[in-house]
Structures are given as structure tokens and as C-alpha cells.
Amino acid sequence: MTTESTSHYDHLEQMSVHDLLVTINKEDQTVPLAVEKAIPQIEALVTETAKRMKEGGRLFYIGAGTSGRLGIVDASECPPTYGVPHDLVIGLIAGGDGAIRKAVEFAEDDPEQAWKDMAPYHPDSLDTVIGIAASGRTPYVIGGLEEARKAGLLTGCIVCNEGSAVAKAAEYPVEVVVGPEFVTGSTRMKAGTAQKLVLNMVSTSVMIRLGRVKGNKMVDMQLSNIKLQDRAARMVMDELGVDREKAETLLAQFGNVRGAIEGYKP
């Protein structure tokens, strides 16, 4: 597996801080190019996911360790950014929520646990499951995808090795091969960056296809802090050509940017 292959660099402990930073950055610059090669795979996954979600389906992410945490981060950002329900995009990690902060030993080695973790959500055939695993061999993810596929769910994955067991378990695999890590086997680095980039692309594209963006604006975002309230006011001002006081009045009345714009009567 390329994710486990030896780093292109050695004697890291002898490098200056400057050389460490420059070299890590040099390696990181290869990641977007690897993602670019996978765009046809990402496009197929997004297209099918959006199609099902338009019919009422949900999106699940399953993963272990860094991969699981990245899925949870992406899922948790969807409600505040796009105003969707908290159970529309769901991130699950091997070992449960406690594993978000502290690793749970051997949790990723149980091939039956992911489907058990999904059970309380009553998954059905309109749902999509994306398994996230840098190595592509995590039993938690493989088992979850296999059971989801048997149950008729759409299955995809994000992996960083070619021809992996996780990819074989998914109908729509995304393989982003980033090569050896700067620190051998440390897949939280380039592999993690690649997974984050792909997750950004998947969730953002799906939300746009679901109509959660108008023009280039997050018109359904939750107004949960002063920064977002200010952003919302500026969006309404720009769209409607009204002053801040009127924009804030409209937002107070309708609760979000979309409502303010659509409910405005000159």
C-alpha cells in the first residue's frame, strides 16, 4: 500500500525547522493534483447521492480514527452552513463519540459495528453511505459498506490506495492516491488532507444540487452568532438593495436570508 510505503525523506530529526516546513509543504502541494485525477469518480458519487437525497434520502459517513473524525466534521458543518436538519448528514466513528477525542483501541477491527451504529437511524434504500479509510482496509468500514449494500443503500468510499477492500465493497469508490507520507504511515497528513478536500467537494456539491445555495450565497445558513448575523445582513442588503436596518428587520421577521429575500415586499 502506498500509504504505508517509506517516506521520500529520511533523517527527519536532523532537519532544521525551516527545512521541515518547506518539505511538508512541498508534499502537500501534490494532494490537489491527486484529487483532480479522481474527479470523474467524485462526480459519479455526487450525482447518485444528490439524486437519492432529492427523494428524501440521507448521507452517512463511516470511518475510524482520523478518517472518522473528518466525516464527523463535514457532517456537523452541514446544518449551520446550509440550514438542513441535523439528521440529514450523519457522521459515525468506530468507538462512538468518545473516539472523536480519544482513540478507542481495536474499535476499527469489528466489521459488524458500523451497521450496528447505523441501526438507530433506521437506514433505508434512499440513503447513501460513504466509507472513509485512508488505507482502504479498515474492517469497520468494509463491513458497514457490505451490509449497507445488501440493504439496498447507495455505497461510496474515499480511500488513498488503489484496489483496496473498501473500494471493492463500494459501488462508487473514490481513490485518491497521494503516495508516501512525509512521516512514514502518518495518514493524518497527505491522506487526511485529500479526504478533507474530497469531503468538501461532495457535501458542497450535493447541497448546491439540493438548492441550498442561491447564486453563490449560503441563503439557508443558521444565524447562530454575530459574525453570521452580520454576513446575513450584508447578503440581504446586496440582494435587495436595502439598508442595514431594513435587512435586519427582514431577518428578524423571516429567520434566514432566503426567507428575507423571498418575503420582501418593496
Q: Say which residues have a Cβ less than 8 Å from residue 71's Cβ, sequence separation at least 6.
A: 61, 62, 63, 91, 92, 93, 130, 132, 199
Helix (H, G, I), strand (E, B) or coil at 241: coil
d(CA 219, CA 76): 18
Q: 452552513: which residue's cell?
A: 81
In order of 215, 220, 236, 256, the CA distances from 266 in angstroms are: 21, 22, 13, 18
Q: Is 108 annotated in the active site? A: yes
Single out the catalytic residue among 43, 48, 77, 239: 77
Single out the catalytic residue among 108, 175, 181, 248: 108
Q: Is 36 annotated in the active site? A: no
Q: Say which residues have a Cβ less than 8 Å from residue 202's Cβ, sequence separation at least 6.
A: 42, 45, 46, 49, 74, 130
Nearest to 175 by CA among 157, 187, 189, 188: 157
Intra-chain end-to-end CA distance of the chain, in Å: 62
d(CA 214, CA 259): 12
Backbone angles phi, psi at 170, to 5 degrees: -105, 145
Helix or strand (DSSP H, E) at 157: strand 154-159
Nearest to 192 by CA among 238, 134, 235, 110: 134
Q: Where are the alpha helices (DSSP H) in the chain?
A: 17-28, 31-37, 39-54, 65-82, 113-118, 139-150, 165-169, 190-209, 226-240, 244-254, 257-263
Residues carrying an active site annotation: 77, 108
